[in-house]
Amino acid sequence: MNRNFFPCAGARALHAPTRREFVYGLGTTLGSVALTSLLAAEQKGPLAPKGQMVPAKAKNCIFLMMEGGPSHIDCFDPKPVLEKLHLKEFTREGKMKSAMESGKRYYVKSPFKFAQHGQSGAWMSEPWQHLPKVADEMCFFRGCQVDSVNHPTAMYQMNCGNRFGGDPAIGAWVTYGLGSVNQDLPGFIVLPEVSYPQGGSANWGTGYLPAQFQGTALRSKGSPILDLQPPQGITPEHQRANLDLLAKLDATHAADHPWHDELKARMNNYELAFRMQMEVPEVIDLEQEDAKTKEMYGIGKDATDAFGRKCLLARKLVEKGVRFVQLYNGTWDSHDYIERAHGNLIRGVDQPIAALITDLKQRGLLDDTLIVWCGEFGRTPDNGVRGGTAYGRDHNPKAMTVWMAGGGCKAGHTIGATDDRGMEAIEEVRHVRDLHVTLLRLLGLDDNKLTFYHAGRFKQLSQIGGNPIDKLIA
Amino acid sequence: MDRMTRNITLIALLLGSSLHAEDAEALFVRRVWPLFQEKCLACHGNDEKKIKGDYDMRTLESATKGGESEVKALVPGKPEESPLYLASTRQHEDDWEPMPPKEADKLYAEQLAWIKDWIAGGAPWPDEAKRNAIAKANAKKWSAEDGITVKTTGALSPEWANRRYKPEALWGYQKVQKPEIETRNGENPIDALIAMRMPEGVKPASAADARTFIRRATFDLLGLPPTPEEIAAFEKAFAQDGDAATKALIDRLLESPHYGERMARHWLDVVRYADSSGFANDYERGNAWRYRDYVVRSFNEDKPYDQFIKQQIAGDEMKSNDPEMLIAVGFLRMGPWELTGMEVAKVARQRFLDDVTNSVGETFLAHSLQCARCHDHKFDPVPTHDYYSIQACFGTTQLAERPASFLKSENTAGFEESKYLETRRIEHMAVLKQLDDKMLINAEKWFAEKKLDRTVWDKAVANARKFVQGGGQMRKARSFTGVFEVARSALQKQGLPEGQYPPKLVGFTPEDFGNERVARKGLERLKWELDRYEPFAFSVYDGRTPQMVSVNQPMRMPKDRMTEGELEQTAILGGGDPFSPTKPVKPGVLSILNTIEFPDAIEGRRTMLANWIASADNPLTTRTIVNRLWLWHFGQAIAGNPNNFGSTGKKPTHPELLDFLAATLVEKKWSLKEMHRLIMTSAAYRRSSELQMADSKLSREDAEKSYAVFKPRRLMAEELRDAMLSITGELNPVMGGIPNRPEINIEVAMQPRMVMGTFASAWVPNPLPQQRHRRSLYALKIRGLRDPFMEVFNEPAPDFSCEARDVSTVTPQVFSLFNGQASYNRALALANRVMKEKATDAVGRVFELTFGRKPAADEKALCEAHWKQMEAKQAQISFAKHQPPLTVKREAVEENTGEKFSFHEKLPAYADFVPDLQPTDCDAKTRALADVCLVLLNSNEFAYLY
């Protein structure tokens, strides 16, 4: 059985030329691509690697986006007080009262037992069975806050800094700032769920940055990149013949318009694309990995197969020099029955993530690679009576847990704190823009220097500037 | 060296490093203190609670004392020992973090020199009274040297109010001055104005040949290619009398109804048109298409532009009985907006107000007003007071879908497609009915388990049954009323304690939860879609702000609009936060231009605003639109940021030309068609894109900028698609009406799309090819589901106003255009057309249709050889018949239970699907010619316009 990461994508790799014969790029223009693998030092163009602005360990980032809003209270931030308050009435007053508050509300305790792990004593809930083994690699942050209580706007803010979408995603900024080591692959790759998150692909958009920094979604079902292959029946030879005719006609036209540079860029683009459609299936083929590795990631087990494949592919991509890989999992939007819902979700990612950290460490890549885990917000300690008492939680922009591993973060520490009910951050309280500034800093970028002039002003990921959270940096 | 730099240098030279005390004081007042205000105090004093690094720069004492480093920051007389200065130089990074932190904010050499000289001069720090006195005494002298102050209303600080501007930064506010032009021999004044700024010794390119010109003009005005017959006729006429033929061509194109479609595409880019609301629900805006068609009609009618403005801002106020006017104000709601139960209503309302304020500014005044939302504008003379004055014009503007009967000029064909939605609706209702029955049974079980008496319950159920059978509360049968829920809420209302009657959704399995949610949310979404066929306008009305919790169905205008709800008192919002109102403001306009007294009334505010914007005297308005028109013809605007005439936008390259066009527009009674005639008959527009560069010292870029040569462009996404459909003969030229759904990449069409609480329905194309093959303007535009073909070819996302399209060259374009199913379909249709025509020279005909010319001998030979070669290949391929999917399986984690859950979405419209011409319908010879066609459709000659 063909068990590629992308089950439908392997067949065409049979004809794939070796890497030595072909190089290709995505979204690069003329001048940035010629034999780039061999001539890395001389690369020019938007995706050419650039130096860090400030000294930092991390060179790559794997961003684990738990879409829907994972509950800090049921994952990493235990609230024993809720045991006593369980099912007692909850009221919230004030201006921020939304319709979410309508009806009766009551406190909900976490259904999970918590324990401390590692030398650092990191708190984790019971369903996390594998992550405890790497607890001392992790740095937990409990002080982050966002502005929005709705999924798409909070997702946009976490990903792009701006609640209303349309701005460059963090991966686009990082690639813009650092370029990409591998000119043969996009610098910013996204591994979405089959169903895109609310807000869609704008979550990995390039905004006003040049199109080259757009996140490229490798789809987990069907064609990994849209229209990567021609329709059924069209062989590579067939296509090559068409391409040859195109090249000849375009050459005549270009000779008549020698001053028109765009023509050459566009001609070149066709050759790059042709090579790429040969190469991508090979890149995403997980079959070459040994059985032990696959087992470690939980590949082949129902609960963990999907996310295990993503994590393993993320490692492969980072190894190949992809700058920024974002993985989606979800939805963690557990409004009801948190025990079942979050229990299943945690079990789906626990082993794969632990394996990713372990594997990167074994390969000496963990220092170079910053892993970030978060959702778009946290969850409330209470729930409303909707379908009866259902032990779930609503959205909470005022408290959440973000954790990092590798890449120069302060491993083995828990920074910041939420109040005794997990309702609001109360220690090291930071707006998400400070988290963004910190992530950039860990990757050697200075948010205040990583700017782009657009619509009359210099814009930046943090929107208005922010301060790094020094306590998260080793 | 500009005047300002010269003055500064002069001061520096005269004063050297040792200033007299009074000169140092003056330097502080004139330069240093304003500089601190601009660059430092935001973090070092203005907000006492948030002073950074513990360094407060509000007084000499605190500024001298220093911050958390505990080092004295200011050593009078010794700049090189003053950290304040050292940090500003950014040259002492090891000791002092560069300030201001942002690279973009760094101080220029002159500014550094001011600080240095001031410290060297003893760092005097006169108090506010003395500062004012010094400023007053020097006002005349300084304004002559430094630039001018302007009068605005309500600045947050006197420093801002007295800020000086370089006159050239205020160009947009100056009165439009029509230049005196001497033209000879019927020369177009545009050419005289362009010649004025032509670099010396540059001889502009000669006129483009007839074939190039007709292709350029036809795409520019219609967004479509000319037919071979049109080209031949024009070439013939052009040879006889070039000028007359050109004029006749432009007249013909301006009369074509496709002109309006083309201009609408530009306009809708600016206003962010879409058929859905965006964000979490991304509900469809069933009636938005009527605004799109209103725009098309307006351009085709050559509606005077001032009317066009007024109608879009205040049509409903001016003629509340005219459906057209109710449709026009849809403009005000073009931005994404929703109110979900998760959000605070006031925040959502404020989002609308901010959106509309900025949108009116960008669209009509080339002013991005949002920069003044939280503070007086950093660069432009727009105080935050003005921002809220303009916002106050919308403080009584409320959102509603309003009854508006269909106009004769509207296309109301195709409404019968609602039957597919009806199928879905019935199905959702059936599911809910089934679940209702199930709950009633479960309720009985519940009573049995709890060993409770169910007499009261049974009675409630019997009553509920009667109620439901009598029609319930169903609104047009689009909502579901269940017996169980009616019975349950009756008991709840009677005050029966919880626990005495069954809980909501009693006894549901995970599957039941999922099915219930999908059906319920599906019904909710259908309400918006079904509104498409109803005579409503996506519109606004004047009134008080109604109390709202969430918006889950189309909004209707309340009867008590003038009395119920909150009468909003617009106020300056601290930090833009709707919960932090400060000073109340009245409706108003940009105070640098005018002050207008608005009546204190709910109705009529927008009319006042619209009249002010659409006034011939408003210099921003006329310049804004002629600048856009110029961009739409030349691919570059005169003022390079058509949405931003402020000081950070690009200055006009040809200011006299811009003013000439603005003045002419008013003279021509705001007729845009007259402006097209004027622009397109200019030599500049008719110029070839070929310049013998060997003769010229200009770079290609400069030659284009100075209009010595015409700037070529790549076709826009929509032009690429429409042109392909046009040359294959498949294009259905019918105008307007409900949006159509062309085929898009099938994987994207079928991909599950999460919206709040459920999946949005799949993208199912219209059944018939002629329904699908309409101009791209008419394709349903969903914010959360974009056609990937359009997206990769730089169609802008409809969230932000697009002032000018980007053109990038990225690899996914190749995948779309060279591998995509649509391209294969078009290539096959083109080949089939040519084969059917039985052209003696098939390759020649393909060239003629695609490029508008015959192939050269070598091109023809190449293509014919390829055709032959591919015929052999094609003969070996076997094709499967296209089988449209009738259902698609959706898998999710059920929100209520956390269990995996799946259901099958039915796709009824696919049952009637007639595919485009298929490879199985054609012989190998045709398919092989299609290979040639595919190549031509991918060629640069096709994609570029010269």
Q: In chain A, which among 272-291 make CB contacts under 8 A with chain B?
A: 272-274, 276-277
**CA geometry: angle at A239 spanning A238 and A241, to 5°?**
70
Q: Which residue of B695, B814, B891, B922 is the best one to mutate when testing the A interface, meaning the one whose CB has the most A CBs within 10 A?
A: B814
pLDDT at B202: 87
The residue of chain B nearest to residue A251, with distances taken between CA atoms, is B940
Put simply, whether A196 touches B (Cβ < 8 Å) is yes
In the predicted model, what is the mean pLDDT of residues B424-428?
Answer: 94
Give kind and range of the element (H or E) at residue B870.
helix B857-876
* Phi, psi angle pair for B266, to nearest 5°: -60, -45
Contact status, residue B738 vs residue B536, Cβ threshold 8 Å: no
Q: In chain A, which among 134-173 make CB contacts under 8 A with chain B?
A: 149-153, 164-166
Does the distance separating the beta carbons of A196 and B753 come in below 8 Å? Answer: yes
pLDDT at B874 over 50: yes
Put simply, whether A53 touches B (Cβ < 8 Å) is no
Give kind and range of the element (H or E) at residue B235.
helix B228-240
Task: Work out the pLDDT band at B168, boundaries 50, 70, 90.
Answer: confident
**pLDDT, tens digit (0-9, with 9 covering 90-100), for A366-388:** 999 999 999 999 999 988 765 45
Q: Which of B811, B899, B941 sits opposite A269 (nearest CB)?
A: B811
Contact status, residue A164 vs residue A199, Cβ threshold 8 Å: no
Q: Which of A18-32, B163-177, B412-426 has the lowest mean pLDDT?
A: A18-32
Give dist(CA B160, CA B156) in Å, integer. Answer: 7
Name the 3-class secondary structure at A312. Answer: helix
Question: What DSSP line would sit under A129-151, residue for residue?
Answer: -SGGGGGGGEEEE--EE-S-SSH
Q: Cβ–Cβ contacts within 10 Å for residue B17, how many?
A: 12
Q: Say which residue the tokens 């006195």 belong to.
A: B133
The residue of chain A nearest to residue B505, with distances taken between CA atoms, is A387
Q: Report residue B223 as tokens.
A: 């967004």
pLDDT at A12 over 50: no
pLDDT at A17: 28
pLDDT over 70 for what percent of chain B?
Answer: 96
Q: Which residues of B touch A455 (CB under 8 A)?
A: 368, 641, 643-644
| Strand A188-191 to A324-330 pairing | parallel
pLDDT over 90 for what percent of chain B?
Answer: 71
Pairwise pLDDT comparison (A207 vs A191), residue with the higher score: A191
Pairwise pLDDT comparison (B175 vs B378), residue with the higher score: B175
Contact status, residue B890 vs residue B905, Cβ threshold 8 Å: yes
Type of residue at B79: P
Task: Work out the pLDDT band at A335, boundaries 50, 70, 90.
Answer: confident
pLDDT at B139: 81
Put simply, whether A17 touches B (Cβ < 8 Å) is no
Who contacts B268 (Cβ-Cβ below 8 Å, separation ≥6)? B292, B295, B777
Q: Which of A404-418, A429-443, B135-149, B573-587 has the lowest mean pLDDT?
A: B135-149
Q: Which of A368-382, B59-73, B326-340, B701-715 has the lowest mean pLDDT?
A: B59-73
Listed by start position, the domains of chain B span 3-146, 189-261+617-712, 270-414+534-604, 423-524, 714-945
* Phi, psi angle pair for A20, to nearest 5°: -65, -30
Distance from CA of B905 to the nearest CA of A (A): 15
Strand ranges (E), A275-357 = 324-330
**pLDDT, tens digit (0-9, with 9 covering 90-100), for B875-907:** 999 988 878 899 999 988 777 676 788 999 999
Distance from CA of A397 to the nearest CA of B (A): 12
Does the distance separating the beta carbons of B693 and A259 come in below 8 Å? Answer: yes
Pairwise pLDDT comparison (B484 vs B17), residue with the higher score: B484
Type of residue at B683: A
What are the residue ranges of helices labelled H in B546-688?
A: 605-613, 619-634, 655-667, 672-680, 683-686
Mean of the per-residue pLDDT values of chain B = 92
pLDDT at A265: 86
Q: Which residue of A175, A190, A195, A226 is the best one to mutate when testing the B interface, meaning the one whose CB has the most B CBs within 10 A?
A: A226
Does the distance separating the beta carbons of A387 and B504 come in below 8 Å? Answer: yes
Between the CA atoms of B781, B787, B793 and B796, what dihedral angle is there, to the nearest 10 degrees? 30
Give dist(CA B852, CA B225) in Å, integer. Answer: 9
pLDDT at A95: 58
pLDDT at A186: 84
In the predicted model, what is the mean pLDDT of residues B278-302?
Answer: 97
Give dist(CA B817, CA B814) in Å, integer. Answer: 5
Note the pTM of the prediction, 2 decimals. Answer: 0.86
Type of residue at B851: F
Q: Which of A25, A245, A457 sits opposite B935 (nearest CB)?
A: A245
pLDDT at B654 over 50: yes
Q: Which of A25-29, A167-171, B286-290 has the lowest mean pLDDT?
A: A25-29
Q: Report residue A85 as tokens.
A: 């308050």
In the predicted model, what is the mean pLDDT of residues B285-295?
Answer: 98
**pLDDT, tens digit (0-9, with 9 covering 90-100), for B351-403:** 999 999 999 999 999 998 998 999 999 889 999 999 999 999 999 999 999 99
pLDDT at B698: 80
Closest CA to B692 of A251, A265, A257: A257
The residue of chain B nearest to residue A330, with distances taken between CA atoms, is B893
The distance of Cα B861 from the centroid of its chain, to the nearest Å, equals: 47
Q: Which of B346, B896, B935 sits opposite A246 (nearest CB)?
A: B935
Listed by start position, the domains of chain A span 60-177+306-472
Distances in whole angstroms, Cα of residue A54 to Cα of each of A57, A364, A440, B104: 10, 22, 10, 17
**pLDDT, tens digit (0-9, with 9 covering 90-100), for B225-246:** 999 999 999 999 999 999 999 9
Between the CA atoms of B709, B710, B714 and B718, what dihedral angle is there, to the nearest 10 degrees? 170
Contact status, residue A157 vs residue A461, Cβ threshold 8 Å: no
Name the 3-class secondary structure at B553. Answer: coil
Question: What DSSP line would sit under A399-460, residue for residue?
Answer: ---EEEESTTB-TTEEE-EE-TTSSSEEES-EEHHHHHHHHHHHTT--TTTS-EEETTEEE-
Q: In chain A, which among 336-375 make CB contacts under 8 A with chain B?
A: 336-345
**pLDDT, tens digit (0-9, with 9 covering 90-100), for B571-627:** 999 989 999 999 999 999 999 999 999 988 999 999 999 999 999 999 999 999 999
Who contacts B601 (Cβ-Cβ below 8 Å, separation ≥6)? none
**CA geometry: angle at A203 spanning A197 and A204, to 5°?**
120
* Phi, psi angle pair for A264, to nearest 5°: -70, -40
Does the distance separating the beta carbons of B644 and A456 come in below 8 Å? Answer: yes
Distance from CA of A363 to the nearest CA of B (A): 32
For the domain spanning A60-177+306-472, the CATH number is 3.40.720
Who contacts B373 (Cβ-Cβ below 8 Å, separation ≥6)? B354, B384, B387, B573, B576
Closest CA to B161 of B592, B572, B568: B592
Does the distance separating the beta carbons of A334 and B862 come in below 8 Å? Answer: no
pLDDT at A71 over 70: yes
Residues forming beta bridges with residue B901, ordered by sequence position: B892
Does the distance separating the beta carbons of A222 and B341 come in below 8 Å? Answer: no
The distance of Cα A354 from the centroid of its chain, to the nearest Å, equals: 16
Give dist(CA B49, CA B51) in Å, integer. Answer: 6
Q: What is the separation, in whole angstroms, between the first and last Cα of chain A?
A: 45
* Helix, strand and coil in chain A, % to nearest 5: 35, 15, 50
Pairwise pLDDT comparison (A9 vs B431), residue with the higher score: B431
Q: Which residue of B709, B825, B896 is the best one to mutate when testing the A interface, meaning the one whose CB has the most A CBs within 10 A?
A: B896
pLDDT at A401 over 90: yes
* Helix, strand and coil in chain B, % to nearest 5: 50, 5, 40
Task: Using only the alpha carbons of chain A, give its radius of gyration.
Answer: 23
Q: In chain B, which among 801-830 make CB contacts under 8 A with chain A?
A: 806-816, 818-821, 824
Q: Which residues of B touch A431 (CB under 8 A)?
A: none
Contact status, residue A412 vs residue A119, Cβ threshold 8 Å: yes
pLDDT at B28 over 60: yes
pLDDT at A6 over 50: no
Q: Say which residue the tokens 């690699």 belong to.
A: A137
Put simply, whether B149 touches A (Cβ < 8 Å) is no
Q: Which residues of B touch A165 (CB under 8 A)?
A: 278, 797, 799
Mean of the per-residue pLDDT values of chain A = 86
pLDDT at A400 over 80: yes
**pLDDT, tens digit (0-9, with 9 covering 90-100), for B817-837:** 999 999 999 999 999 999 999
pLDDT at B92: 85
Does the distance separating the beta carbons of A270 and B343 come in below 8 Å? Answer: no
In the predicted model, what is the mean pLDDT of residues B207-225?
Answer: 98
Q: What is the separation, in whole angstroms, between the first and last Cα of chain B?
A: 39
pLDDT at A389: 58
DSSP B893: E
Distance from CA of B779 to the nearest CA of A (A): 19
DSSP B755: E
Q: Edge-to-edge strands of the sheet including A369-374?
A: A216-217, A188-191, A324-330, A60-67, A369-374, A402-405, A138-141, A413-415
The residue of chain A nearest to residue B793, with distances taken between CA atoms, is A211
pLDDT at A23: 27
Residues forming beta bridges with residue B891, ordered by sequence position: B902
Give dist(CA B299, CA B309) in Å, integer. Answer: 12
Q: Which residues of A touch B280 (CB under 8 A)?
A: 150-153, 198
Task: Work out the pLDDT band at A22, boundaries 50, 70, 90.
Answer: very low
**pLDDT, tens digit (0-9, with 9 covering 90-100), for A108-163:** 999 999 999 999 999 999 999 999 999 999 999 999 999 988 898 999 999 999 98
What ipTM was estimated for this complex? 0.87
Query: Count of alpha carbons within 13 Å of B51, Cβ hemisphere only?
Result: 15
